[in-house]
Amino acid sequence: MQAPTHLVTGVLIQKALEKKKVQPFPLQYLLVAFLAVISHGILDRLARFTYHPSVPLTGDWFWISYHSIVAFLTIFIFVKYWKRYKIGLIFSVLPDFDWVVINASSLFSFQIPFWKEPILHKFLFSFLDFLPPFGFLNTLPDWTLERKAVILELALFITLITIIYVLGKGKMNVDKEKIEKPALTVQEGEDTKSNNEKNSNWINILPIYQACMNQEQSIRTSYQSLLTALEVGLFALAIGLYELELGDYFWLLAMLGIFLCLGFGIACEYYARNADIWRIRVVKLVSGTEVEDAFREGKYRWIPLGKVGFKAESSVGHWFERILIPIMLGVWLSVLWYFPIRLPIFIPTVVRVIFTIMTFSGMLYVFHCPLLDRLIESKAGYYDYRRGKSKSK
């Protein structure tokens, strides 16, 4: 199956388990991840019924048009559902990391000894073949070169989107019922007025905290977007130079890529921590008030985890700085060490060692090395958002 079908399946799985309110949350996420990966194998077996040539048909206008639409839908689904359904999205396409590794190995002429074939897909298919209900999928007819088979995948895609919409609409109706309340009596009205007067302080403060949190997060998002655009441009330039057999300049691109990742990565992490400070203050502010339940059901659903929730948010919530940027740094470091540097003797080794040390130093800050935290943060003092305390230096 194509990526959009895998992605909406992952979204549907996560949305369905959320609707069932599987508790605790770690168990829910584990089930989402497991079912999303399994769904990938099932859909890939069903791909025999869909238009899915095994090699690119670059001279075929239908293949180019179809895959252009698929690429657009893939990006659109990621943008639309990433904020809430990232677990389902990631694990629904995780097995396709096989093709990333294999194609990158072919492009850059290096081999990972144990990853010369799609090992994730092989393991997944072996697991499915072991289960009796799925063994018959291997006997399905092969329509992968039939253009009309596009209709089958399109029908499945529309069906999945429709189910997602129906589930979402059902949740909106439930939320509406929770919000609607009967008219208050005179006595209830007086009690409510008294409670509102007592709570007016936190009601006035809450928008300020949220505005500060959103401001820090917006700055972080701007840095993320700029870094992503620059890195994509560098990777595209590297591929172009490789095709033109101009590999002598790869080390310059690698140095620039590492500089960008470290500079913007540290900035992103800094503003992510600032956003965490305000997020924690919002949590503490609404604790014990009548809106706490509403925050638990919204984007603050990690509130019930207490201090564990704060630590999880500071780790999982910083996925861009702690997952994507280290991957990019790893790629650039590999390029820097693998491709030749046209400089006098000893200098290439010094350059490689310096940039390796810089990379690991930046990662120490991102993963909270106390010494580097103190060096990079403000000298006047800093807020330890993991413990909720201010410290002076």
**Tens of pLDDT along 335-359?**
888 888 877 777 788 888 888 888 8
pLDDT category of residue 175 using cuts at 50, 70 and 90: very low
Name, of 72-81, 114-123, 188-197, the range with top average pLDDT: 72-81
Instruction: Please state the rounded mean pLDDT for residues 136-141.
Output: 69
**CA angle centred on 71, ends 67 and 76, rounded to 5°:** 145
Helix (H) or strand (E) holding 382: strand 382-384
Asked whether the predicted pLDDT for residue 152 surpasses 60, the reply is yes
- Helix pair angle (3-19, 150-179), 10° resolution: 30
Strand partners, 391: 382
pLDDT category of residue 114 using cuts at 50, 70 and 90: low
Q: Around Cβ 203, how many Cβ atoms within 10 Å?
A: 13
Structure token pair of residue 357: 């040390």
Locus of tokens 């956003």? 275
Structure token pair of residue 3: 């990526």
- Percent of the chain topping pLDDT 90: 1
Distance in angstroms (rounded) separating the CA atoms of residues 169 and 163 = 10
What does DSSP say about strands 389-391 and 382-384: parallel, antiparallel, or unpaired? Answer: antiparallel
What sign does the CA torsion over 220, 221, 227, 230 have?
negative
For the entire predicted model, the pTM comes to 0.46
pLDDT category of residue 306 using cuts at 50, 70 and 90: very low
**Tens of pLDDT along 259-278?**
999 888 888 888 888 888 88
Alpha helices in the chain (DSSP H): 3-19, 25-46, 61-92, 97-108, 119-130, 150-179, 186-243, 250-286, 292-297, 307-316, 319, 325-338, 347-366, 370-376
- What does pLDDT average to over the chain? 75
Looking at residue 177, what is its pLDDT? 47
